[in-house]
Amino acid sequence: MRKRLIVSILATVAAVALVPCTAAGQTLPRTADGKPNLSGIWHAVNSAAWNILPHPAEPGVPAGLGVVEGNEIPYMPAAAAKQRDNYANRAKLDPETRCWLPGVPRANYMGFPFQIVQTPNQMSLLYEYAHAVRHVFMNSAHPRGPIEWWMGDSRGKWDGDTLVVDVVHFNDQTWFDRAGNHHSEQLHVVERYTLVDPNHINYEVTVEDPKVFTRPWKMSMPLYRRLDRNMQILDYECYAFDEAFRAGPAELR
């Protein structure tokens, strides 16, 4: 009883101590210009790479609670059918099997670390997977389209202590996961990166695509700082592992 009381008091003290600090942002690491410092190497730890929706385990696939708000993606009927077809033929159709650039937000939860390099005017995201990169230009406008880029065009701004990144100008070739969840070139992604303590980012994504979804929908997950000693990004040069095989489609072109 006494022990439980102490624990409870400690928990209360901890909660009281933590809440105002993080809320006021006093404990957050900050850059010279006063922004929360997101620099470092981050990693999503979940099974969204396989399926962003809740799913049971399969051989080689860990089960997952899903990262989509409401556990449902509001596909239009034809788009829902396309997802089912994608899923059935995922071994062949998943762009990951060709080692193409993974798109956004998929790049952030593929199971590889990525590094954020933060400067006042530009945040660069360096991915270990296929050395994909994104350069988030701050407080500037998207170039005029139509442009179809694999990783889209990213523009950032600070909303208080949250980095908000608006991403458009995608192609229709990337998926959200290995389960065939897909989009068109009209994809519009808004990401919110909120440093909640020095080692965690709350990552929230709003997805819009008037050709594919009946309404915007959201996903969210924590990103964890890689605390490994001397952590650094290595490489995963996907297509180089089995080039003749991967080049199959390219040879046909």
Partner 1 sequence: MDTTINLRGGVMGSAMLAAVVWAAPALVAGQSWTPSRTADGQPDIQGVWEAGPGANNAGHSLEEGCCEPEHNRMQNRPAANIGLRQQVIVDPPNGRIPFQPWAAARQREHLVNLEMPTEVQHIEPEDRCSLQGVPRSNLRGPMQILQTPGQVVILYEWVHAYRVISLDGRPHAPKGTSTWQGDARGRWEGRTLVVETTNFRVDPVGYNRQPWIDSHGTFYTDALRVVERWTLVNPNRIDYQATIEDPKVFTQPWKIAYEIVRQNEKNYEFIEEACWEGVSVKNRLEAGRMAVKAGKKGIHSHQER
Contact residues for partner 1, defined by CB under 8 A: 31-32, 39, 99-101, 115, 117-119, 122, 124, 126, 130-133, 135, 137, 140, 149-151, 173, 230, 232-235, 237, 239-240, 243-244, 247, 250-253
What's the closest the beta carbon of residue 37 comes to partner 1, in angstroms?
9
Q: Which is nearer to partner 1, 44 or 238 (CB)?
A: 238
From residue 200, how far is each of 6, 104, 164 by CA, in Å? 28, 20, 16
What's the closest the beta carbon of residue 146 comes to partner 1, in angstroms?
14
Q: Which is nearer to partner 1, 227 or 234 (CB)?
A: 234
Q: Which is nearer to partner 1, 76 or 233 (CB)?
A: 233
Q: Which is nearer to partner 1, 89 or 232 (CB)?
A: 232
Cα–chain-centroid distance for residue 53? 14
Q: Which is nearer to partner 1, 84 or 131 (CB)?
A: 131
* Calpha distance 69→47 (Å, rounded): 15
Q: What are phi and psi of 21, to 5 degrees?
A: -65, -55
Q: What number of CA atoms fall less than 13 Å from residue 149's CA on the CB side?
A: 18
Q: Which is nearer to partner 1, 76 or 133 (CB)?
A: 133
Tokens matching residue 94: 């998943």
Q: Which is nearer to partner 1, 122 or 214 (CB)?
A: 122
